[in-house]
Amino acid sequence: MEKIKRPAIFLDRDGVLIVERDFLVDPDDVEFYPETIEALAAVKNDYMKIVISNQSGIARGYFSSEDVERVNSEISRMLGDKGIFIDAWFFCPHGPGDGCSCRKPRPGMILEAAERLNIDLEKSWIIGDKSSDIEAGKASGIKTIMVNTGYGGSEPGASKVDPHYTASNIGDAIEYINRSST
C-alpha cells in the first residue's frame, strides 16, 4: 500500500522564522519575529513544517555543523514550549562557490525532503526572504512566498524573482496559504 503524500511548508530560518543575524552561532541570540509563534500555530495540520537553510558559515570556517544544530535545537525547544513542532530540519553547509546541489537557489534540500518524507510538492509552499529561496521553490515545482522581513529579497547579488505572493511577514504568509488551501 502506497503511503499518502502530504504537503509541506518549507521555511527559511534566518530572516523568516527568526531575526536575521549574519552568521548566527550563539543559541542565546535567537530572536523570533513577533508574529512567528502565532503564525506557526496557525499552520493547518495537513502541512508538514520543514526548515531549510543555507549555512555557508560552516564552509567559511565561522562555525561548525554542531553550532548550527545547537541553534536549531534552541529554536525547536523554544517552539516546543509553545506546543509547536518542526517536522524536519535541513541545512546546506557549503559555500557559494562549492557547486553542491543542496545550496539554495538549487532545489536539493527540497527534493531530498520530498523523497525522504513523502511530500506532495504540487501542494507545497516555500516562505523565504531571499531570491535564492524563491528560485529553489520554483526549481522544485512548489509555490513561493517572499516575506519583507530579513533581507526581503534585497540581499547582495539578489536575482529578480517573481514569487507567487509577497507577504509582509510570516504571519501574512501563513494566512495567505491557509486562505489558498481551503
Query: What is the C-alpha separation between 172 and 30, in angstroms, rounded?
Result: 21
Q: Is the dihedral of CA 81, 167, 96, 9 positive or negative?
A: positive
Of the residues 12, 67, 129, 172, only one is catalytic, namely 12
SS3 content of the chain, % helix, strand, coil (to 5): 30, 20, 50
CA 133 to chain centre: 8
Query: What is the C-alpha separation between 109 and 103, in angstroms, rounded?
Result: 8
Query: What is the C-alpha separation between 60 and 83, in angstroms, rounded?
Result: 35
User: Quick check: is 12 catalytic?
Assistant: yes
Of the residues 14, 67, 129, 172, only one is catalytic, namely 14
User: Quick check: is 14 catalytic?
Assistant: yes
Contact 73, 27 (CB under 8 A): yes
Q: What are the residue numbers of the active site?
A: 12, 14
